[in-house]
Structure 1
Amino acid sequence: MNRSSRPLPIRGDRALSSGDVDRLGFAEVAERVAASLVDHASDAGIVIGLDGKWGSGKSSLLHLISGELDKLPEDHRPSVITFRPWLVGNRDALLASLFNQLVDGIAMVEFSRGNATADRKRKFKNAAEKARKFAASVSKAGDLLEAVPHPIAKVGGGILSGAGKLFAKGEATDLSSQKADLTATLKDLGHRFIITVDDVDRLEPSEVIEVLRLVRSVADFPNITYLLCYDSAILAESIKRGANVPDGAAFLEKIVQLTVMVPKPETFQLRQWFADEMGKIVGSIPDEQRDRLRSVIDQEGGLRLDTPRMVVRTLDSLRFFWPALRSEQIDVPDLVWLLLIKDGAPALYRWIESYLLAAATVSLGIGSISEGGAATELGELVALIGSDQMGDMMYRHFFADQLPGMDATYGQDEAGFKIHQRVPPLGRDAAIRGRRLASPDHHRLYLALAGPSHAVKQQQMDEFWRAVTAGPDDTAAALRMLMTQPISAELTKADMLLERLDGSAISDLTSSEAEHLLIALSAVMDEADRNGSDYSFVVLTIWTRAERVAVRLLQNIAAERRAEVVDRVFRLGPAIGWLSSLLRRETFAQGRYGDQRKSKDDWMLTFEEYDSVAKTMIARYQAMPAEDILSQSRPLQILFAWAQAGDERGPCAMISAESETDDGLLRVLNAMVTKVHSSDRGTYEVIQPSSARPFIDLEAASARVFTMDATTLSHEAREWLARVQNAFKNMDKRQ
């Protein structure tokens, strides 16, 4: 990638200026229009319209026309006056500004032509004085003009004549005669003036009417050509509203005698212009990106780059964002695709933004998308893309290919897309490695110039892999460090790491590295699960993520090392709660308990390994004090794993012995309290009968709890008593 720190100037919405490259061949058009302006100027004055869509290059063409006029020989060269009515505050100022600029234009001609004859200089001076006098009188007549109805056909010499009667006799107030005098003077002067008025269609409707009134009925002098730039469709609508007429286009035809249409550039010209300038901004990119970039420019660029302004706007967006993103090594085709949509279809961009945020939430396991929600999103997408593009199968395929979990559909009865589909781990990992827009770790770089708060930085990943290579203790320390870095109220960067390991990364590990990581997980997973029963029902717990990783790690361990590693993990691993969840998983998967037997391909352990592991774990349970088991983050997980692995009486005996004292019973029941999430009651605590009854007589326990004398209990037990009593009451409300 090009790492140059060369500044990338933003062009903005400005016309071509001297030295700019004419990418669309407007220079030839400008030369011909300039020639026509001089050859066909009307002695009575003329109003010419330069008509083109917003962004089509009207201002640039106007600039080029002015440049061509400046090239003419002095004796044929007209004076070009640039009039910008949107800078003027009110009607009186509008009139005064126009005539003052005309005066300045006449004076400039007089000054610049030092070799003119005395008679010629006198004529210029005379014309300037009369224009200045007329401007002053017209400005004074502003109040009367304010009262005149808008329709331009009613404004003319009669109004000016009437306005003259308002002034004192000592003043030269007959505007009609002043205009006639100035008209004769300008005609006698024989010098042509071209007054350009750009962006007429951007004025307010009332202002549009004033400008048109001015050029057609008040300032229609000989040898003066008005060149108005506008989009006729927009201007006609403004006239319709401002003049209160039924047909704004027909009204405009009464004002503008001649129209020059801004030539519409070929779409391939616009795409080539964009591609050439984009290459200067981003520099060289990998071949794979270059091929996809061509498709982006052809597909999305062909749709969005419909005017020169859109080319300039999207290039400016790239110039603005690229310096900040260059060092992030993001995917250039993805960035260009998103910017084309951002500038060409803002509502569709917002949809994409929302979709990516939701997809990242699902990928992380902290959210889900309902069928109804997905259906609503899909309907919005179809409406935003539009029927024309939805009918283009190639475009649908191309669009779906940019976003995670999206597929194009082609059946007659199908909606055109499937969204929020499951993203395979290999596909997700490829997007992350490529720092693509579809990456759950990098999409925010494209949307907000910010990396996601949940992402594990590359430096942290490098440090983690070095630890994995070094040994299990270093790996455990690296995991503990990530466990101290929260990314939400319930998750840490350790969650993020394990989520990302469930993909191609594990396949690349050596046998010893897989062994180190598995042993490390068996050491720290209980430390990562201090709020085991508090997770929201839509959240994948860190145990679930670690379990997925463990299954794949075992597959990577060499056959001659496997038995020893399995024994070490289950016999010595401190994370007894997490190991119990693995044991319970295998108990059901192998059909040792219940009716959920799975195929051998889904087993983590072989049949023989399970027998050995179950024996090892039962021995560990039997040797553990009840207090140690009940203080675990998920004690019920251990009790069920113990019973379902083949020792059904063991946990019951332990519970019975512990429950002989009131303190012990409260310790047992406190360990069995779980949280329930309800739409009507919110979150509250209960003792689930289905979880507790396999190990304790729940009714007898409840009776004891509500008859206990709190004064005989330890301080800790008194706290348990209040919690357990409340849980029993909530349990009764649910039944």
Structure 2
Amino acid sequence: MMENNPEKSQRTKHEFSADRPISSIEEDLLGRAPFAKSLASAIKGWQGNESLVVAMYGPWGSGKSSVKNMVLQTLRLAETNCPLIIEFNPWQWSGQDQLAEAFFQEIGLLLGRSDGSEDGKRRAAKWRTYGTYLTLGASLAKSLKTILPILGLPGSGIADMLSKGMEQSATVAQEGSKGVEDQAVVQQQTLAEIKKELSDSLKELERPILVVLDDIDRLTPEEIRLLFQLVKANADFPNVVYLLLFQRDIVERSLDSSPAVSGQEFLEKIVQVGFDIPRIERTRLEKVLFAGLDELLTDGDVGKRFDQTRWGNLFLGGLRPYFQTLRDVYRYLASLSFHVSLFRSTGSFEVNPVDLIALEVLRVFEPVVYRRLPEAKLELTNLRDRAHDSHDENERTRKLIESIVEAASQPGQVREIVKELFPPVEWVFNGSMYGHDFKEEWFRELRLCHPDVFDRYFHLAIPEGDISQAELDRVLSLVGNREGLVVEFRALNKRSLLGVALDRLEAYKQKIDLQHAVSFITALFDIGDELPEDRGGFFSISPDTHASRIIYWYLKQEMDIGRRGAILKEAMKATTGLYLPIRIASLEGNEEKRKKDPDAFNVTDADLDALHHICVEKIEQAAGSGILTSHRNMLSILYCWDKWASHEKPRQWVEKLIDSKEGVLSFLTACLHRSTSHGMGDYVSQEHWRINLTNIEDFVPVGTLERKVAEISPDGLSDKEKSAVKAFQKAIKRRRDGKPDDGHWADDEDEG
């Protein structure tokens, strides 16, 4: 339960962090642990006479450091062959002089700590001497012309840079060389001789050295070039493995300093094995997002104004592309968490939750657009009759709104968000206009587009399972085979993967050939009654919504509206399914939207009447056969029957149904409404079951049902049946106490 306690709300901690990488496999939310374990296994198994240079590529925020931490955890937990690990973050060392010195110093310290024997001390001393020789510069190493061929480095451009860097660090390096056991410098030993001795010594290591270099792309271009030259200089030592983490294009541009050798070519000469960070599975990423949204916003007051259809349209049409990395999700949730606490501080939720979610996306990801919205309040919220406005006034408004959209990093997405948030300016994009009769409704819903609510907004993450591409390809290969596709859908459903399959299938909804229209849509209708029940929070996209969207957009490919109607009629007549055809017919029958935007619908008015007739026949067959008796969507089907046929038939059917105990329980269960809430600090949501007596009396007198419920013994009832009886009894008491039927669920929590 989300508590409406102002003081407690103000104390809420905002613990999301956009920049903190995970530290262990146990924290992995994105399924990258297998990749990290495989990479650790490859590093652990490396046995070579030269160094191994491994690179992990990925943009900022893609999770490179998190994968690195899982790799190192795996290595450290290994019973055998765990390398000596040195994590060297070059970003912590400012300046080329410190960077070069620190590189050798840190590795030398590891060698000294890992082996206290005389051989170990000599090996560490050789390493320090070698580092001193490289960092002293041209005066100590005789000349760069001697050093560069030994290191295998390119010509004069890099020589100039190395010379400058070495000269800057010469003083520090000279002081650091005092007391070094190996007096090779004094003895005028050549760099090649020192390197040969050090190489022989490193071969004797029982465990290899793993040097991890993270945040390379945060360095200056000069520091990046120096760092890669240091790696290059040491890339032929045995028992040394480098793991480099960086954004590839940034590093390539920094290395692209010579006309003779491009940054890409130079990088390829150094890195032997390169990996792109595994792409994030959208289902896992959205699960984290949806869980965070549920925890922040699933409150009773929020639920009263949460429109699932608006949320689905906004997320799928406008918001989804902004969430590409876990950093995007955490950064967004951290900001949203703060603003939710402000809007909840009065004891009520002061804004519309769907509008807040969308506006927060603009605040976080499109700050230029967000900052321009308040200055355009009049244009965004004014329901003036544009037909009576001057041409110049309308053009000024149009240009202002379009300029706001074009200022976005993703104009197409912002256009969809603005259209949904601000219906008064929808005419700018498609000519549709709203009348003043919507204004009161927008105020009741605390919508951003109402001028009296607007200022409030500015005055301050699916199931674990997934399907493979091969399985999705198999579904697509069966679109012309109704029976085969139904079998495949049911097989996926047994593995709890049907909802995921429909989510993925949305990407292909306008790519499937229309020649398969009847068989494909009929198969979807066939499994409509078997779709998994949506048990997520407010923010999950339900499987039947995915199925409906697939059918809608798939049919939109057919330009002939008469042909679209014919396809739907044929599929509805042929299907064995009940609920999905009724849902499609109901969506097509939204009278308000049909008047406003008839082109948005798939069938004509005449075909819509035919679809209703087909559905009524199917409902009456289901009522006669007993299928409707146990259907989980019984209530919504009864309302469609009432609307499309007559008031009497569904009432007569319900009266006959409740003649038996089983029928009473079935009807009550169908009237149950589920909601969830989170307590402050809770990780698990709480379920609440309600029955609205208005739904009951639309089909049967409440008193009649009350007498029948009183005769039912609780013994032997299922948990859901007990919940239904309890919810009904609470609803009766709520009405007798003078409380509204649709009041807050917490009003009757103490009634036992």
* Alignment TM-score, normalising by the size of structure 1: 0.51
Q: Does 1:258 align with 2:281?
A: no
Once the two structures are superposed, residues 700-731 of structure 1 have per-residue CA deviations (whole angstroms, 9 ceiling, x without a partner) of xxxxxxxxxxxxxxxxxxxxxxxxxxxxxxxx
Partner of 1:64: 70
| Structure 1 residues 245 and 289: CA distance shift in structure 2, 3 A | farther
Aligned residues of 1:127 and 1:185 also touching (Cα < 8 A) = yes
For the residue of structure 2 that corresponds to 1:401, the secondary structure is helix
Q: Does 1:42 align with 2:48?
A: yes
For the residue of structure 2 that corresponds to 1:441, the secondary structure is helix
Which among 316, 324, 331 is matched to residue 334 of structure 2?
A: 316
Aligned residues of 1:83 and 1:196 also touching (Cα < 8 A) = yes
| Structure 1 residues 123 and 335: CA distance shift in structure 2, 3 A | farther
Aligned residues of 2:379 and 2:397 also touching (Cα < 8 A) = no
Q: Does 1:196 align with 2:212?
A: yes
Partner of 1:657: none
Aligned residues of 2:51 and 2:241 also touching (Cα < 8 A) = yes
Task: Supply the distance in 2 between the matched residues of 1:127 and 1:140 (Cα, whole angstroms).
Answer: 20
Partner of 1:376: 399
Mapping of residues 552-701 of structure 1, within 5 Å: none
Partner of 1:125: 121
* Alpha-carbon offset, residue 218 of structure 1: 4.5
For the residue of structure 2 that corresponds to 1:56, the secondary structure is coil
Task: Supply the distance in 2 between the matched residues of 1:147 and 1:376 (Cα, whole angstroms).
Answer: 66
Once the two structures are superposed, residues 42-98 of structure 1 have per-residue CA deviations (whole angstroms, 9 ceiling, x without a partner) of 33102111012332211111111111111111x410122111112212222112111
Partner of 1:80: 85
For the residue of structure 1 that corresponds to 2:451, the secondary structure is coil
| Structure 1 residues 352 and 418: CA distance shift in structure 2, 3 A | farther
1:318 partner letter: L
Aligned residues of 1:50 and 1:229 also touching (Cα < 8 A) = yes
Task: Supply the distance in 2 between the matched residues of 1:227 and 1:169 (Cα, whole angstroms).
Answer: 31
Aligned residues of 1:10 and 1:320 also touching (Cα < 8 A) = no
Mapping of residues 375-524 of structure 1, within 5 Å: 375-381=398-404, 383-384=406-407, 389=412, 399-407=418-426, 416-417=429-430, 424-449=435-460
* Alpha-carbon offset, residue 353 of structure 1: 4.4
Partner of 2:564: none
* Alpha-carbon offset, residue 441 of structure 1: 3.2
Task: Supply the distance in 2 between the matched residues of 1:172 and 1:448 (Cα, whole angstroms).
Answer: 72
For the residue of structure 2 that corresponds to 1:405, the secondary structure is helix
Q: Does 1:249 align with 2:268?
A: no
Once the two structures are superposed, residues 256-309 of structure 1 have per-residue CA deviations (whole angstroms, 9 ceiling, x without a partner) of 111112111122322222111222233433054161444443333321112222
| Structure 1 residues 386 and 34: CA distance shift in structure 2, 3 A | closer
Partner of 1:330: 351
Q: Which runs of 5+ in 2 are unaligned?
A: 175-183, 461-752
* Alpha-carbon offset, residue 174 of structure 1: 3.8
Q: Mean alpha-carbon deviation: is it higher for 250-259 or for 284-293? A: 284-293
Task: Supply the distance in 1 between the matched residues of 2:435 and 2:458 (Cα, whole angstroms).
Answer: 23
Once the two structures are superposed, residues 300-351 of structure 1 have per-residue CA deviations (whole angstroms, 9 ceiling, x without a partner) of 3321112222112212222333222222532222122122233333333344
Which among 14, 35, 41 is matched to residue 8 of structure 1?
A: 14
**How many residue pairs end up in the alignment?**
419
* Alpha-carbon offset, residue 435 of structure 1: 2.8
Q: Does 1:53 align with 2:53?
A: no
Q: Does 1:176 align with 2:195?
A: no
Aligned residues of 1:271 and 1:298 also touching (Cα < 8 A) = no
Aligned residues of 2:16 and 2:334 also touching (Cα < 8 A) = yes
Task: Supply the distance in 2 between the matched residues of 1:278 and 1:264 (Cα, whole angstroms).
Answer: 23
Once the two structures are superposed, residues 495-545 of structure 1 have per-residue CA deviations (whole angstroms, 9 ceiling, x without a partner) of xxxxxxxxxxxxxxxxxxxxxxxxxxxxxxxxxxxxxxxxxxxxxxxxxxx
| Structure 1 residues 398 and 102: CA distance shift in structure 2, 3 A | closer
Once the two structures are superposed, residues 333-384 of structure 1 have per-residue CA deviations (whole angstroms, 9 ceiling, x without a partner) of 2122122233333333344444336546999xxx999334323224424535
* Alpha-carbon offset, residue 208 of structure 1: 1.4
Task: Supply the distance in 2 between the matched residues of 1:110 and 1:287 (Cα, whole angstroms).
Answer: 67
Task: Supply the distance in 2 between the matched residues of 1:286 and 1:266 (Cα, whole angstroms).
Answer: 29
Higher relative contact order (CA 8 A, sep 6+): 2
* Alpha-carbon offset, residue 152 of structure 1: 4.2
| Structure 1 residues 68 and 137: CA distance shift in structure 2, 3 A | same
Aligned residues of 1:209 and 1:243 also touching (Cα < 8 A) = no
Task: Supply the distance in 2 between the matched residues of 1:86 and 1:171 (Cα, whole angstroms).
Answer: 36
Task: Supply the distance in 2 between the matched residues of 1:440 and 1:244 (Cα, whole angstroms).
Answer: 60
Task: Supply the distance in 2 between the matched residues of 1:279 and 1:143 (Cα, whole angstroms).
Answer: 66
For the residue of structure 1 that corresponds to 2:238, the secondary structure is coil
2:224 partner letter: V
For the residue of structure 2 that corresponds to 1:77, the secondary structure is coil
For the residue of structure 2 that corresponds to 1:437, the secondary structure is coil
Task: Supply the distance in 1 between the matched residues of 2:22 and 2:203 (Cα, whole angstroms).
Answer: 34
Partner of 1:228: 244
Aligned-residue identity in percent: 24
Q: Which runs of 5+ in 1 are unaligned?
A: 112-120, 409-414, 450-735
Partner of 2:233: 217
2:340 partner letter: W
Larger C-alpha radius of gyration, 1 or 2? Answer: 1
Once the two structures are superposed, residues 380-405 of structure 1 have per-residue CA deviations (whole angstroms, 9 ceiling, x without a partner) of 24535689938xxxx96664121251
Partner of 1:24: 30
* Alpha-carbon offset, residue 432 of structure 1: 3.2
1:289 partner letter: F
* Alignment TM-score, normalising by the size of structure 2: 0.50
Task: Supply the distance in 2 between the matched residues of 1:297 and 1:59 (Cα, whole angstroms).
Answer: 29
Partner of 2:570: none
Q: Mean alpha-carbon deviation: is it higher for 187-196 or for 1-10? A: 1-10
For the residue of structure 1 that corresponds to 2:129, the secondary structure is helix
For the residue of structure 1 that corresponds to 2:107, the secondary structure is helix
* Alpha-carbon offset, residue 199 of structure 1: 2.4
For the residue of structure 1 that corresponds to 2:87, the secondary structure is strand
Aligned residues of 2:305 and 2:352 also touching (Cα < 8 A) = no
1:336 partner letter: I
For the residue of structure 1 that corresponds to 2:56, the secondary structure is strand
* Alpha-carbon offset, residue 147 of structure 1: 10
Task: Supply the distance in 2 between the matched residues of 1:444 and 1:239 (Cα, whole angstroms).
Answer: 50
For the residue of structure 1 that corresponds to 2:85, the secondary structure is strand
Aligned residues of 1:41 and 1:225 also touching (Cα < 8 A) = no
2:89 partner letter: R
Task: Supply the distance in 1 between the matched residues of 2:441 and 2:261 (Cα, whole angstroms).
Answer: 60
Aligned residues of 1:271 and 1:297 also touching (Cα < 8 A) = no
1:325 partner letter: F
* Alpha-carbon offset, residue 41 of structure 1: 4.6
* Alpha-carbon offset, residue 137 of structure 1: 3.5
1:313 partner letter: R
For the residue of structure 2 that corresponds to 1:208, the secondary structure is helix
Q: Does 1:341 align with 2:324?
A: no
Once the two structures are superposed, residues 656-692 of structure 1 have per-residue CA deviations (whole angstroms, 9 ceiling, x without a partner) of xxxxxxxxxxxxxxxxxxxxxxxxxxxxxxxxxxxxx
| Structure 1 residues 439 and 124: CA distance shift in structure 2, 3 A | farther
| Structure 1 residues 213 and 280: CA distance shift in structure 2, 3 A | same
Task: Supply the distance in 1 between the matched residues of 2:448 and 2:365 (Cα, whole angstroms).
Answer: 18
Aligned residues of 1:48 and 1:227 also touching (Cα < 8 A) = yes
Aligned residues of 2:51 and 2:235 also touching (Cα < 8 A) = no
Task: Supply the distance in 2 between the matched residues of 1:357 and 1:122 (Cα, whole angstroms).
Answer: 81
Once the two structures are superposed, residues 111-166 of structure 1 have per-residue CA deviations (whole angstroms, 9 ceiling, x without a partner) of 7xxxxxxxxx333332222223333343322888999799943479xx99x999x9
For the residue of structure 2 that corresponds to 1:47, the secondary structure is strand
Q: Does 1:289 align with 2:306?
A: yes
Task: Supply the distance in 1 between the matched residues of 2:395 and 2:442 (Cα, whole angstroms).
Answer: 27
Task: Supply the distance in 1 between the matched residues of 2:100 and 2:401 (Cα, whole angstroms).
Answer: 55
Aligned residues of 1:271 and 1:301 also touching (Cα < 8 A) = no
For the residue of structure 1 that corresponds to 2:452, the secondary structure is coil
Aligned residues of 2:211 and 2:242 also touching (Cα < 8 A) = yes
Partner of 1:576: none
Aligned residues of 1:45 and 1:224 also touching (Cα < 8 A) = yes
Partner of 2:518: none
Q: CA RMSD in A?
A: 3.9
Aligned residues of 1:85 and 1:197 also touching (Cα < 8 A) = yes
Once the two structures are superposed, residues 206-240 of structure 1 have per-residue CA deviations (whole angstroms, 9 ceiling, x without a partner) of 22111111111246522111111122223222322
